[in-house]
Amino acid sequence: MSVRVLRRLGISLALPAMAVGALSLAESPTTHPTSKDTHAAVGTRLGSDTVQTVAVGDKWSKVVWDVDGGSTSYAELVNSLRAAVAATGGHRTNVNANGRNLAVDVTGTNDREFIDLEVRTAGANIHLVVRASDMYVIGYHFWDQTHGNTYYPLAREGVTLPSWALGDGHSNTSTWEETATFLGHENYNDLARMAGTALRDVTLNQHNLRQAIFDMRTDPQGRDANSLRNKAGGVLRMIAAVSEGVRSRPLANDLGRALHMGTNLNLAPYVDLINNWSSISNIVTTPGSPAVQTSNHGWVRTAADAAALLLVALAHRASTSNIHDEL
């Protein structure tokens, strides 16, 4: 990482049915389950669309990202996640920047809406659990023949996974086990330390995003040091591509270009945007907000400056909000 403590910021986005092909409604558990507990999902599959209540308050929707689809598939992912903003109480604002219109999607404030984002490659997949109000990856899960469903929570907020997201089409797979390998370590400093790297040294490309899927599935019930390091690196790459990509206009554009050209994208130039997403968002959402100085993108003073850097802005939050900057 950088000399600063890096933050994983959050907003919650749930996808509209037409953007993702399936809309699921769910409700939230009252307590956070413990490591390696066995859980059962609640709900039934209704026809081609999934409508599911799993605990009071939670709503779920589904998105699929085919990593093998390259830049085209990545652009579809970003567009689908942006479309989710409107479905979860957010709105779009259009900003004039030197005669050019820049659309910024401002998130909703319902913190109990989630996206089950299935990330696929040939031969494997994982499911990222994304909080819709801030594009915050709070955990991930997958199914394998030996262990069934395994869920790795990152944040301490408890969720009940919807049954339609479990088992990848295999029957009698509506239960899962949690493992606390990453629990409470969702911040970039911890993940980078576990991966033996720093955020600014992480690179993204077609090959290592695909490899991340395999690495995140390795040794699901163990704590082998090598597999843990690889898993943490995979989580870092996925969060950067998904959460930071949908928030940051430059990162999304440059990663799409790298996937198209078959080149690497290093995260160092984007660290200041990752650190300052909330503050830059305020310049769009709250007139009179303080200017923000970034090391690679200069001063951000106006809504036009901010819109040039944002695809999705975090809605202004009251001081009592449960949303927080993860340090």
Binned at pLDDT 50, 70 and 90, residue 5 comes out as very low
Pick from 55-64, 78-87, 94-103 the range whose average pLDDT is largest. 94-103
Q: What percent of the chain has pLDDT over 90?
A: 61
Q: Which residue has the higher pLDDT, 72 or 42?
A: 72
Q: Give the dihedral of Cα atoms 18, 20, 21, 22; nearest 10 deg.
A: -110
Q: Quick one: pLDDT at residue 35?
A: 35
Binned at pLDDT 50, 70 and 90, residue 29 comes out as very low
Residue 295 belongs to a domain: no
Residue 293 belongs to a domain: no
3-state secondary structure the chain: CCCCCCCECCCECCCCHHHHCCEEECCECCCCCCCCCEEECCCCCECCECCCCCCECCEEEEEEEEHHHHHHHHHHHHHHHHHHHHHCCCEEEEEEECCEEEEEEECCCCCCEEEEEEEEECCEEEEEEEEEECCEEEEEEEEECCCEEEEEECCCCCCCCCHHHCHHHCCCCCEEEECCCCCCCCCHHHHHHHHCCCHHHCEECHHHHHHHHHHHHCCCCCCCHHHHHHHHHHHHHHHHHHHHHHHEHHHHHHHHHHHHHCCCEECHHHHHHHHCHHHHHHHHHCCCCCCEEECCCEEECCHHHHHCCECEECCCCCCCCCCCCEC
Residue 312 belongs to a domain: no
* Token digits of residue 109: 């404030």
pLDDT surpasses 50 at 106: yes
**Strand-pair category, 203-204 with 265-266:** antiparallel
Q: Which domain holds residue 90?
A: 17-247
Q: pTM score, two decimals?
A: 0.82
Domain of 208, CATH number, reads 3.40.420.10
316-325 pLDDT per residue, tens: 876 545 554 4
Q: Which residues pair with 312 in a beta bridge?
A: 105
Q: Quick one: pLDDT at residue 322?
A: 52
The predicted model gives 186-211 an average pLDDT of 96
| Low-confidence winner among 92-96, 185-189, 199-203 (lowest mean pLDDT) | 185-189
- The answer to whether the beta carbons of residues 255 and 265 sit under 8 Å apart is yes
Q: Quick one: pLDDT at residue 156?
A: 86
Q: Quick one: pLDDT at residue 321?
A: 54
151-185 pLDDT per residue, tens: 999 998 888 899 899 988 876 677 888 988 898 88
pLDDT surpasses 80 at 12: no
Residue 88 belongs to a domain: yes
Residue 266 burial (CB count, 10 A): 14
31-70 pLDDT per residue, tens: 223 234 445 443 322 223 333 334 456 889 899 999 999 9
Residue 74 belongs to a domain: yes
Residues in Cβ contact with 291 at an 8 Å cutoff, skipping those fewer than 6 apart: 283, 299, 300, 301
The predicted model gives 180-192 an average pLDDT of 90
Q: Quick one: pLDDT at residue 126?
A: 98
The predicted model gives 89-105 an average pLDDT of 94
CA distances 200 to 78, 245, 266, 325, Å, are 22, 15, 7, 19
CA distances 113 to 58, 110, 232, Å, are 5, 6, 25
- The answer to whether the beta carbons of residues 140 and 212 sit under 8 Å apart is no
The predicted model gives 193-215 an average pLDDT of 97
Residue 317 belongs to a domain: no
Q: Quick one: pLDDT at residue 215?
A: 97
CA distances 93 to 155, 310, 323, Å, are 30, 11, 22
Q: Which residues pair with 125 in a beta bridge?
A: 120
Q: Quick one: pLDDT at residue 319?
A: 54
Residue 51 belongs to a domain: yes
Residue 3 belongs to a domain: no
Query: What is the total count of domains within the chain?
Result: 1
